[in-house]
Amino acid sequence: KYEIKTILLSSSVMAVFFFAILYNAFARKIDVPACIPYNATFRQSAIKKVDDTHYEVYIIARMWAFDPAEIIVPAGSTVDFYLTSADVVHGFNIERKGVNLMAIPGAVNKTTVNFTDYGTYRIVCHEYCGAGHHNMMAQVLVT
């Protein structure tokens, strides 16, 4: 009897979580982070302009910096971030944007962010990665 209750409870919790992901992805148009296969050509950081309002940024995290450390885009831009690590696991948090990714060696994580407002958005490593962890940051300048 208790087993049935437990199963029903846990499966309904799972359903709520699943619904929350779908809701965020479609109704609120929030990008759900994607883990994409590691591409061996991703050895160099890059900022690529796709068109006037669309950029792709390839970021490499390593002890204890992000490369590139500064990303400048015009207001109204949509930016696809592709993230990997050259050494250990790092974090990737963009303030005021709700971005929370992991930089994992041998893997690429991707997310998309819309920068509608002018300003400076700091990026910090929020996964402890050694002595220089607290100095590991970058920024997005929206001009």
Which residues would be at the binding site for ligand CUA (CB under 6 A)?
64, 90-91, 125, 127-129, 133, 136
- Shortest approach of ligand CUA to residue 56 CB, angstroms? 22
Assigned token pair, 48: 């690529």
> Smaller CB distance to ligand CUA: residue 60 or 73?
60
b/e 93-122 (16+ beta carbons within 10 angstroms → b) = bbeeeebebbbbeebbbebbbebeeeeebe
- Shortest approach of ligand CUA to residue 134 CB, angstroms? 8
Cα torsion 137, 112, 24, 10: sign: negative
> Smaller CB distance to ligand CUA: residue 62 or 97?
62
Distance CA 64, CA 25 (A): 32
- Shortest approach of ligand CUA to residue 137 CB, angstroms? 9
> Smaller CB distance to ligand CUA: residue 137 or 141?
137
